[in-house]
Amino acid sequence: MKTANYDPATYWERRYQDGRTSGAGSEGDAALAKAKMIDEVITGYGLTSVIDWGVGDGVVLGHLKTKVRYLGLDVAPVAIERLRAKYGPRSRTRWFALASEGAHEVRDLALSLDVMFHLVDEADYQLHLAQVFGSATKAVLIHANDHDGGRTARHVLWRKWTPDVARIFPEWAPALAPDPEDREVPGWHLYLRTEAL
């Protein structure tokens, strides 16, 4: 949805068309650290399938070492086209634009990496939460900050979102969270479905 001249689909489509990346959080050591964490969760909980809400340029995916069925979704069709071209037809990996049928599938693990603070519109934010938690059967792994820092850029809004998860999705128990003293720094939040424990 559009908010104050910002439409996520338009912004990210143009950004990738201009040859830009998903950002510093998906490059270099940051990308390696994210892949390592995802691998640890997959192996630690015996997960076999992943749905990634906001795959972007796919750099993090390229560093994963575990073999799982992977579904990458993104709001920018050009990002999906490039990932399909890069990885080609692979039986365990698929890509869809967010508005497609792929957005209705479920997997063991749902990912949301550095997406939360780009959802400046309340309706987009609520939809993302519903999609992420509604598409996972066992675990949800989110990389985001958790503080009310407000709007700091056209495409950035810092918000405290963990209370919403506790209220809307009581069947999901937090299993990992960053140090509360570092709430302004993006960190890892792992939720496990209580009935799957």
3-state SS of the chain?
CCECCECHHHHHHHHHHCCCCCCHHHCHHHHHHHHHHHHHHHHHCCCCEEEEECCCCCHHHHCCCCCCEEEEEECCHHHHHHHHHHHCCECCEEEEECCCHHHHCCEEEEEEECCHHHCCCHHHHHHHHHHHHHCEEEEEEEEECCCCCEEEECCEEECCCHHHHHHHCCCEEEEECCCHHHCCCCEEEEEEEHHHC
pLDDT, greater one: 182 or 48: 48
Domain hosting residue 98, numbered range: 1-108
Average pLDDT of the chain is: 85
Q: Tell me what pLDDT residue 37 has.
A: 96
Q: Tell me what pLDDT residue 2 has.
A: 47
Q: Tell me what pLDDT residue 96 has.
A: 80
Q: Residue 95 pLDDT more than 70? A: yes
Q: Residue 186 pLDDT more than 90? A: no
Q: Is the dihedral of CA 16, 20, 26, 31 positive or negative?
A: positive
Domain for residue 31, yes or no?
A: yes
Domain for residue 22, yes or no?
A: yes
Q: Tell me what pLDDT residue 23 has.
A: 61
One domain, residues 159 and 97? no
One domain, residues 99 and 22? yes
Domain for residue 186, yes or no?
A: yes
One domain, residues 18 and 94? yes
CATH of the domain at 55: 3.40.50.150
Q: Tell me what pLDDT residue 87 has.
A: 79
| pTM over the 0.85 mark | yes
pLDDT, greater one: 135 or 12: 135
One domain, residues 152 and 101? no
Of 174, 178, 155, the residue nearest 164 (C-alpha)? 174
pLDDT band for position 4 (50/70/90)?
low
Stretch among 97-106, 118-127, 182-191 having the lowest mean pLDDT? 97-106
Beta strands 187-193; 172-176: pairing state: antiparallel
Q: Residue 64 pLDDT more than 70? A: yes
How many structural domains is the chain composed of?
A: 2
For residue range 102-159, what is the model confidence (pLDDT) as tens digits? 667 899 999 999 999 889 999 999 999 999 999 999 999 999 999 888 887 888 899 9
β-strand partners of 141: 111, 190
Q: Tell me what pLDDT residue 196 has.
A: 56
Q: Tell me what pLDDT residue 160 has.
A: 94
